[in-house]
Amino acid sequence: MSMLAEKIWAERQGAPVLNGVSYEFRMNRFYGIIGPNGVGKSTLLHILSGVDAPSRGVVSLDGQPISDIAGKTLARRLAVLQQGGLPAVGFSVREVVAMGRFPHQNWLGGEASDPEPIIEEALSVMGLAELQNRKLHQLSGGERQRVALAKLMVQQPDILLLDEPTTYLDIGYQIGLLDTVRAWQQEKGLLVIAVLHDLNLAAMYADELIALHKGSIAAAGTPEEVMDPLIIEDMYGTRTIMIKHPVSGAPQLMLQPGARSGHTDRRV
């Protein structure tokens, strides 16, 4: 099973964002999409999720174009964690998590088997059992992000798309969230594609990094291959120092004040 993006073109308000991006995503892998602001990372993720259509190109799941797969059928296989998380609605934690069962329900809202154990498990894995009757608008941003992830768990997908899941979270929540995702990914053999702003987090969790720059893939491969100071400087216009993580050995970037490179076209 795999997900294939073929020559994806996309525009945003008339301006080209993606110029023929192609990539094959395989199951049981964690992909990190990195790149500067406004480069079309989220646009690519929206297209991979099947919600937005590319202006040209095809995304297919096992050879079948996702535009041909009906909404609920697709949602049983593919789940998305939206950028910005869940809004502060008046539903309780448990009600929102249970909404993840929607793609498994018939039009009367019934299911073939009782979903309660699935919901209970997701609540306990995410440490939400005690918060389950609280309303969403009474929770903090970090707690809401855990609710969003629990909702994805009960959706029971094979493919997980995460759009900047750690933005606005403190470092404790960032590590907690990505640890949970990775444990889940390894247990079920999921395909995870995450847009990540933080390059060091991306290098620690992803099996493969895809660097988007100027509408196409500037570099792709293992974190060691992509986290090359020259590639990073070319994309972000700043010189960095690469070191190895003392425990895991993952490549980690150190920033240098005043090290803006002269030869790029970036202006701040």
Partner 1 sequence: MLLLAVSMIASLSIGSAGLSFLDVWGILLGQLTGMPEGAEWTAGEIAVVTQVRLSRVLLDILVGACLALAGAGFQGVLRNPLADPYTLGVASGSSVGAAAIILFGLQLALGLWTIPLVAFGTGIVTLLGVIWLSRSRGVMQIETLILSGVIIQSFLGAFVSLMVSMSEGVVNQILFWIMGSLAMKSWEHVYMLVPFVCVAMPVLLAYSQALNLFSLGERHAANLGVRVERTKLVVMIMSTLLTAAAVSVSGVIGFVGLVVPHLIRLIVGPDYRLIIPISAIGGGIFMLWADTLARNVLSPKELPLGVVTALIGAPFFAYLLHRKMKLEGGVGG
Task: Report the helix count and the strand count for the chain, using DSSP H and E.
Answer: 9, 12
Between 109 and 249, CB nearer to partner 1: 109
Q: Would you say 167 and 195 are in contact if contact means Cβ atoms under 8 Å apart?
A: no
Whole-number minimum distance, CB 254 to partner 1, in Å? 36
| Rounded least distance, CB 49 to partner 1, Å | 6
Q: Say whether residue 9 binds partner 1 (CB under 8 A).
A: no
From the list 87, 257, 258, 262, which residue makes contact with partner 1 (rule: CB under 8 A)?
Answer: 87
222 vs 160: CA distance, rounded Å: 20
Q: Does 155 bind partner 1 (CB under 8 A)?
A: yes
Q: Which of residues 167-226 bind partner 1 (CB under 8 A)?
A: none
Closest CA to 83 of 164, 149, 198: 164
Count of all residues that appear for the chain in the document: 268
Q: Residue 163 Cβ, how far from partner 1 at the closest point, in Å?
A: 10
Residues numbered 41 to 70 that lie near partner 1 (CB under 8 A) are: 46, 49, 51, 70
Q: Which of 124, 163, 116, 161 is nearest to 146 (CA)?
A: 124
DSSP state letters, 35-93: -STTSSHHHHHHHHTTSSPPSEEEEEETTEEGGGS-HHHHHHHEEEE-TT-----SSBH
Q: Does 231 bind partner 1 (CB under 8 A)?
A: no
Segment (H or E) for 30: strand 30-34
Which member of 20, 56, 57, 91 binds partner 1 (CB under 8 A)?
A: 91
3 forms bridges with which residues in the sheet? 25, 61
Contact between 75 and partner 1 by CB under 8 A: the answer reads yes
**Binding segment (CB under 8 A) for partner 1, from list 54-62, 71-79, 165-173, 234-242:** 71-79
251 contributes a contact to partner 1 by CB under 8 A: no
Contacting residues toward partner 1, per CB under 8 A: 46, 49, 51, 70-76, 79-80, 82, 86-91, 95-96, 99-100, 102-103, 105, 107-109, 135, 137-138, 155
